[in-house]
Structure 1
């Protein structure tokens, strides 16, 4: 699709991310509302889980489709299956493996070594005040995110061999304008929002961006040189419309889950809203 705005699915994702950013700015003067947005089991954390869960499912589906086409284990299959597993783990880590939802007591090891006293790995303590998330993962995400979303797409504009090389390993490069918007929103959220958990906004923007770019590349062939899952133009148009509706539904579902799955009770137990 050669329209100036690219593919409509990116427009829907961008509007949702801008909406969440707008909420954070509007609610900056209302700490109770801002906590509701950013707290554990709040709106943005449920959005992250839902986006990661759907992304993992899409990647697993793409892996199965690739296997059915080639009937052999190759780099593309391993990449798709591996990314599906990693994203599934990220989804489960976001909600501490359903611990709070199922009211499961935290094991002694995590009580002593987890910064939030929860059953997850990314908040395990490192040193006196650090954690795996803050000390390692954040830096890694920034490096990989800028390379994948800005550096490589820019270089690929004049060196198409870069895109071909990336796709050889089962990966893809997202279109540039959604990536620039994603990075801009991350910067804006860190500058415009004064809150100890403002980093949750960056994670939500990234989860929505990657959900959309994974779908666009592997299922629709947007900015992707290999044959997409939906090769027929009419099928791509129909499934893209359904996907746009799904994105809006995920926002609604995240909002409903935050109201009914414990954000309020979490704040009552942890007035500081958690540390990671």
Structure 2
């Protein structure tokens, strides 16, 4: 495992702080945890959106800085990842609906579990899209990406070349350990609002991955 960068030390300390207080409040004052600490439109939720948006901006910065040196597949890969994180940031705050006090259309009022203008709370045939796609499917993707991909990348040239070709950043083991640690710590919280903290961890750790991936040569003009 590589030595932690100063940014990683600060970020991981921040997550320890957030999760530590989350465990404390969820077990001693559940009302405060639900209505203040991890509330809807609170600092935790907005923090998640900020880190997801920063990840998008970082990837776009690298695209515009390096695109003249890179092939079309690299450009396609980095733009697609940037768009995914832009989408995540927008969904997290319902595309600014509550910030700008915008009313939902009739369609979203009828088909969204919270009556908001976003996709992850949509209800299809009585089932929430959030549970099917943004929870179950995302869990599978995260397991593959955080645990299996770094192993396969190090072992097989085909996987290595494919990831580098599409500008897919590969995690360092400290990122995997951080995510698994947050997964373990979240189990000590008793409220359903605990997932807001988990999403924040997602935002922070993925920003760190993009900032300092194992295959950082993908962000070099000479690779």
> Structure 1-normalised TM-score?
0.74
SS at match of 1:101: coil
Closer, same or farther: CA 18–224 of 1 in aligned 2, 3 Å: same
Deviations 1:212-255 (A, max 9, x none): 110113xxxxx215253599xxxxxxxxxxxxxxxxxxxxxxxx
Instruction: Find 1:6's aligned residue among 4, 7, 10.
Output: 4
- Residue 210 of structure 2 aligns with which residue? 214
The answer to whether the aligner puts 1:194 opposite 2:190 as a matched pair is yes
Alignment RMSD (CA, Å): 2.1
Is it true that 1:164 corresponds to 2:161 in the alignment?
yes
Secondary structure, counterpart of 1:100 in structure 2: coil
The structure 2 residue matched to 1:175, chosen from 153, 172, 177, is: 172
2:124: which partner in 1? Answer: 126
- The Cα offsets for residues 172-204 of structure 1, whole Å up to 9 and x where unpaired, read as 211012212212212320x20111222222211
1:155: how far off?
3.4
Question: How many Å apart are 1:58 and its aligned residue?
Answer: 0.7
Q: Which residue of 2 aligns with 1:55?
A: 55
Q: Which stretches in structure 1 are left out of the alignment for 5+ residues?
A: 218-222, 232-276
Map of 1:37 onto structure 2: 37
Which segment is superposed worse, 42-51 or 30-39? 30-39
Q: In structure 2, how many angstroms separate the alpha carbons of the residues matched to 1:133 and 1:142? A: 12
Q: Deviations for 1:143-168, whole angstroms, at most 9, x for unmatched residues? A: 11111111121333444553333112
Number of aligned positions between the proteins: 220
Does the aligned pair in 2 maintain the 1:163–1:172 contact within 8 Å? no
Checking the alignment, whether the CA contact within 8 Å between 2:178 and 2:205 is kept in structure 1 is no
Aligned-partner Cα distance in 2 for 1:175–1:79: 20
Give the structure 2 partner of residue 249 of structure 1.
Answer: none
> Are positions 1:224 and 2:222 aligned together?
no
| Unaligned segments of structure 2, at least 5 residues | none
1:110 pairs, out of 108, 112, 119, with 108
Q: Secondary structure at the match of 2:197?
A: helix
Q: TM-score, normalised by structure 2?
A: 0.90
> For residues 20 and 56 of structure 1, do their structure 2 counterparts lie closer, same or farther at Cα, with a shift above 3 Å needed?
same
Say if 2:121 and 2:129, in contact at 8 Å, map to a contact too: yes
